[in-house]
């Protein structure tokens, strides 16, 4: 899992949780709306800072706490994010983490949009 996270952190992060049909396990996706079941089994809550990492279909996801901040932004806040979902495996090495609307808002201090993209990095809390 560590390699998947490291790879994702080297790429541009995006946002999800806008109703698109890609939550949960590949092959049985659900709309990414409040209460959808994530790949870890936790319910998806757009109002809670969370993330998905591109991962193989057969890879199990255990909820993992990450501390993230915007890359290259002086005094950017360090935000706790729960990694509890996975993105489509076709994005491994192509895209970074998918962040919930609450994660984007906590990182940027602004209301997120479905088209947000940015670079994030790990930080110490």
78, 123 Cβ separation under 8 angstroms = yes
pTM over 0.75: yes
Mean per-residue pLDDT for 50-73? 94
- Specify whether the CB–CB gap between 44 and 50 falls below 8 A: yes
First to last CA, the chain: 21
75-89 confidence digits (pLDDT tens): 999 999 999 998 888
Split into its structural domains, the chain has a count of 1
Expressed as residue numbers, the domain containing 112 is 2-122
CATH no. for residue 49? 2.40.40.10
């Amino acid at each position: 899992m560590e390699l998947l996270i490291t790879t994702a952190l080297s790429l541009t992060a995006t946002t999800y949780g806008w109703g698109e049909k890609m939550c949960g396990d590949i092959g049985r996706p659900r709309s990414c709306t409040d209460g959808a079941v994530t790949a870890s089994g936790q319910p998806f809550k757009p109002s809670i800072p969370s993330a998905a990492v591109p991962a193989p279909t057969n890879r199990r996801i255990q909820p993992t706490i990450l501390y993230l901040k915007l890359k290259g932004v002086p005094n950017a806040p360090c935000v706790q994010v729960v990694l509890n979902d996975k993105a489509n495996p076709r994005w491994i090495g192509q895209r970074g983490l998918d962040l919930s609307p609450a994660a984007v808002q906590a990182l940027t201090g602004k209301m997120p949009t479905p088209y947000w993209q940015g670079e994030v990095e790990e930080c110490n809390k």
